[in-house]
Amino acid sequence: MPSRSAAGVRTGVRVVVAGDRGTGKSSLISAAASDAFPEYVPAVLPPTRLPSDFYPDGVPVTIVDTSSSMESRVKLIDELKRADAVVLTYACDQPMTLSRLSSFWLPELRKLEIKAPVIVVGCKLDLRDERQPMNLEQVMAPIMQQFREIETCIECSSATLIQVPDVFYYAQKAVLHPTAPLFDQEKQTLKPRCIRALKRIFMLCDHDMDGALSDAELNEFQVKCFNAPLQPAEIVGVKRVVQERIRGGVSDLGLTLEGFLFLHALFIEKGRLETTWAVLRKFGYNDELKLRDDILPVPTKHAPDQTVELTNEAIDFLCGIFRLYDSDNDGSLQPSEFDDIFVTAPESPWTVDPYVDAAERTPQGNLTINGFLSEWALMTTLDPSYCLANLICIGYGGDPTSALRVTRRRSVDRKKKQTEKNVFHCFVFGPKKSGKSALLNSFTGRPFSSNYTPTNDVRYVANAVEQIGGSQKTLILQEIPEDGVKKLLSNKECLAACDVAVFLYDSLWCIPIASSDEYSWKRSRELLLDVARRGEESGYGVPCLLIAAKDDLDPFPMSLQNSARVTQQLGMEAPIPVGVKLRDSKSVFSRIVSAAEHPHLSIPETEKGKKRKRYRRLVNSSLMFVSVTVGAAVAVVGLAAYRAYAARKNT
C-alpha cells in the first residue's frame, strides 16, 4: 500500500522497531497500542496500527516488530529497507545494549544504506539502578555527532507508561517533518535549498516588492498558511524577537528577508519543524524541497513521436527575464547575473550535464540571448516537468498550463508534408574521429581543436538557426557515441523523438595510406543502413543527411562519387561537404533544419523497405480490384433479381 497520495501527501508512516534481544521492543509496541503494560507478549508481534486520530497530524502509524536472531536476519533487512523511520532500542538496565548501538546497529544501518531517520529509545527506565545515574544528553551527544541520521533520543518505561506514546510521536514527526532537508546540524544553519525555497515564498508574499513584509502582508501570509490571522500584539512581538536577535531583520517597511529566514531557523532550533514544513507545503514543496508534481500541469504526450515545446507566452516571459537581469545591458548574462535568476529555484539547473556547455556563449563565457533560450528549449525537450518547475520558481505568473504545448505527431507531419514545430531534435551519428564533437562545438561557437577527445556519453548542444526568409528555429544536436548506437537502436521507439539524423564520415577514406579513413566511410554507411532499417521496422523513419567531413584536405574524388551513389540509391540528398575546421558550418545547420522542416523527404529506403512498399501497393491494388469486381457482380445479380420480380408482378 503506497504511503503517499497522488498529491505527494503522506497517507501513512511505517515505523520499524529494531534492537538487541530483551531490550523491550515488543512490550513498547504493545503498551503504545493498548495504553497498558502487557502481562505477556509474544516473541515478535504482528504489525500494529495506530489510527489516524492517535496523533495531531492525523496520519496513521504502522509499527513493525522485529527479531534480532540470525534466523530472522533476511526478514529484518527487508523490513528495514521498507521503513519510513527506524526505532532502535536499548535497555536502561543493560548498559551493554546502549554500547551496541554505536558498535553494531548504527553502522549496520549505514552498511544496508538505510536512509530513514532513526529514533534511539531507552526502554525499561523503571529498572535502571538508581545508584548509577546517567545523563542521556551527555552520553548521546558524541553518538549523535557521529551518526547524523539520529533525529532524537528518548527514554521510556512500558511498565509505568512513562513517555511511551512520545516514542512513536517523535518517529512520526521525523518522517512528516524531517530535519535533514531543512537544517545543517553541524553548521547550525538553514541548508541552501531551504533558503532558496523560503526566499521564493518571501518574494511571492512581498506583493509591493519593497523588500519587506508589511503587517498586512504578514497577516495574509499567516492566513494562507495557518488559516488564522495574527493579532496586532502578536505581530509586534514577532518583530521584537527578530530585532533583538538579528541586525537588519526588521526595517521601517516591515520584516525583511533576513528576518524571515531567521524566524524559520529559530522555529527549527526550538523543535517546531512542523511550522516551517506547513509553510513550505502550502507553497507546493515536497520533502526534497522541489515543487510537487501535482502542481506542475505538464501536457500529456499521446504518442512517442510527439514532443513538448515552450509556448510564445513562456518565451516572451523568458525574454523579459533576460532583459531584467542583464543589468549592464551588454546583451549577455554574466555568471553572477545568471545565478541571480535561479536564486529562488532548488538549484541552478544548467551547471550539470546535460546542460553545462550546451549553449552558445561569448568569448568571456557569458550567456547570449540565443544561448539562454536554447538552454530552455533543451530542458523542455528532455524534461518538461523540470522545465515547468524552474519557470514557476523564477516567477512565471501566468497559468502554468499556458507555458508548454504538445507538438503534432511526426507521422501526421509526414502525411501533411509540413511541420508546425519550432524545435528540431537531430541525432548525430558517425564512427570515432569522424568529426561529431567538432560539429557540435562549431554549432555553439567554440573554436576548433586538433586534440582528439573521445565522447563516451551522450552529449547535447542547442542553438538558434536563421532560415531563409528570416524565420528562426531551434536545433538540438545529440551526439551518439559509436559504442552506444547498438543500445540506442535496441529500443523500438528510439527514433520517435528524432526529427532528422546526420551521419558523418572522414572524406579522406579513399587515400591508400589512410586505412582508418576507409573504415570511417564503411562504418558510417553501416550506421546509416542500421538507422534506416530501424525506421522502416518501427514506422518512425526520419530524414537523413550524409556529411563528408575534412573536405578541405583534398579528398580523393572517388570518395564523394561513392557516397553520392549510396545516397542516390537510398533516396537521400547528396552528401554535404564540410571543411575540417567547420568554418562554413552555418550552411550545414541550415540544411539540417530544412530537412527537418520537410519530414516526408530524404527518408532512406533500403531494398527490403522498397520491396515491402511495392508489396503493400500490390496488395492494396488487388483489394481494390476485388472490391470493384465483387461490387459489379452484386449489382448484376441485383439487377437480374429485380427483372425477375418485375416480370412475375406483371404476370
430 and 389 housed in the same domain: no
284 and 300 housed in the same domain: no
88 and 110 housed in the same domain: yes
Task: Look at residues 229, 260, 289 and tell me which one is the last residue of a structural domain.
Answer: 289
Greatest Cα pair distance in the chain: 129
160 and 145 housed in the same domain: yes
Q: Is residue 148 situated within a structural domain?
A: yes
CATH at residue 261: 1.10.238.10
**pLDDT score of 580 more than 90:** no
Instruction: Tell which residue, 321, 361, 343, 570, has the closest CA to residue 447.
Output: 361
Percent of the chain with pLDDT over 70: 88
Q: How confident is the model at residue 197 (pLDDT cuts 50, 70, 90)?
A: very high
Give the span between the Cα atoms of 180 and 182, in whole angstroms. 6
Count of Cβ atoms closer than 10 Å to residue 223 Cβ: 12
379 and 458 housed in the same domain: no
| Helix, strand, coil percent values for the chain (each to nearest 5) | 45, 15, 40
Task: Look at residues 135, 152, 176 and tell me which one is the last residue of a structural domain.
Answer: 176
Instruction: Tell which residue, 127, 132, 88, 126, has the closest CA to residue 107.
Output: 88
Instruction: Tell which residue, 275, 96, 81, has the closest CA to residue 183.
Output: 275
Q: Is residue 645 situated within a structural domain?
A: no
Q: Is residue 633 situated within a structural domain?
A: no
279 and 360 housed in the same domain: no
Q: Is residue 171 situated within a structural domain?
A: yes
**pLDDT score of 515 more than 50:** no
Q: Three-state SS across 87-130?
A: EEEEECCCHHHHHHHHHHHHHHHHHCCCCCCEEEEEECHHHCCC
- Our CA dihedral for 546, 552, 558, 560, rounded to 10 degrees, sits at 20
Burial 161-197 (b: 16+ CB within 10 A, else e): eebbebbbbbbbbbbbbbbebbbeeeeeebbebbbbb
CB proximity list for 86: less than 8 A, separation 6 or greater = 15, 16, 17, 18, 80, 109, 114, 116, 117, 118, 119
Task: Name which of 165-169, 229-233, 590-594, 626-630 the model is least confident about.
Answer: 626-630
Count of Cβ atoms closer than 10 Å to residue 262 Cβ: 19
569 and 474 housed in the same domain: yes
Q: How confident is the model at residue 618 (pLDDT cuts 50, 70, 90)?
A: low
**pLDDT score of 405 more than 70:** yes
400 and 475 housed in the same domain: no
As beta bridge partners, residue 623 has: none
Q: Is residue 625 situated within a structural domain?
A: no
Q: How far is CA 309 from CA 48, 325, 454, 477, 605, in A?
A: 49, 24, 31, 16, 30
Task: Look at residues 590, 605, 620 and tell me which one is the last residue of a structural domain.
Answer: 605
Q: Which three cell numbers stand for residue 528?
A: 546509416
166 and 225 housed in the same domain: no
Q: Is residue 257 situated within a structural domain?
A: yes
Name the residue range of residue 53's domain: 13-176
CB proximity list for 598: less than 8 A, separation 6 or greater = 417, 418, 543
Q: Are 287 and 194 in contact (CB under 8 A)?
A: no
Q: Which three cell numbers stand for residue 413?
A: 507531419
Q: How confident is the model at residue 513 (pLDDT cuts 50, 70, 90)?
A: very low
Q: How far is CA 370 from CA 362, 376, 414, 462, 648, in A?
A: 11, 10, 29, 9, 85
Q: How confident is the model at residue 514 (pLDDT cuts 50, 70, 90)?
A: very low
Q: Are 602 and 543 in contact (CB under 8 A)?
A: yes
Read off the pLDDT of residues 378-392 as tens digits, 9 standing for 90 and up: 999 999 999 999 999
Give the span between the Cα atoms of 385 and 291, in whole angstroms. 10
170 and 196 housed in the same domain: no
Instruction: Tell which residue, 350, 372, 363, has the closest CA to residue 464.
Output: 372
Total residue count of the chain as it appears in this document: 651
Distance of CA 500 to the CA centre of its chain: 25
421: helix, coil or strand?
Answer: coil
Q: Answer whether the bond into residue 304 is a cis peptide, omega within 30°.
A: no
481 and 348 housed in the same domain: no
Give the span between the Cα atoms of 508 and 515, in whole angstroms. 10
267 and 372 housed in the same domain: no
**pLDDT score of 271 more than 80:** yes
Which among 162-171, 361-370, 465-474 has the top mean pLDDT? 162-171
Give the span between the Cα atoms of 38 and 27, in whole angstroms. 7
Read off the pLDDT of residues 315-353 as tens digits, 9 standing for 90 and up: 999 999 999 999 888 889 998 898 999 999 999 999 889
CATH at residue 522: 3.40.50.300
- Greater confidence (469 vs 173) lies with 173
Read off the pLDDT of residues 222-231 as tens digits, 9 standing for 90 and up: 999 999 999 9
Give the span between the Cα atoms of 179 and 551, in whole angstroms. 61
- Greater confidence (518 vs 266) lies with 266
Q: What average pLDDT does range 358-365 have in this prediction? A: 91
Give the span between the Cα atoms of 112 and 79, in whole angstroms. 12
| Average confidence score pLDDT of the chain | 88
Total count of domains within the chain? 4
Q: What are phi and psi of 462, to 5 degrees?
A: -145, 145
Give the span between the Cα atoms of 89 and 156, in whole angstroms. 10
Q: How confident is the model at residue 520 (pLDDT cuts 50, 70, 90)?
A: confident
CB proximity list for 358: less than 8 A, separation 6 or greater = 350, 374, 375, 378, 444, 460, 461, 462
- Greater confidence (327 vs 156) lies with 156
Q: What is the pLDDT of residue 586?
A: 77
- Greater confidence (289 vs 638) lies with 289
Percent of the chain with pLDDT over 90: 70
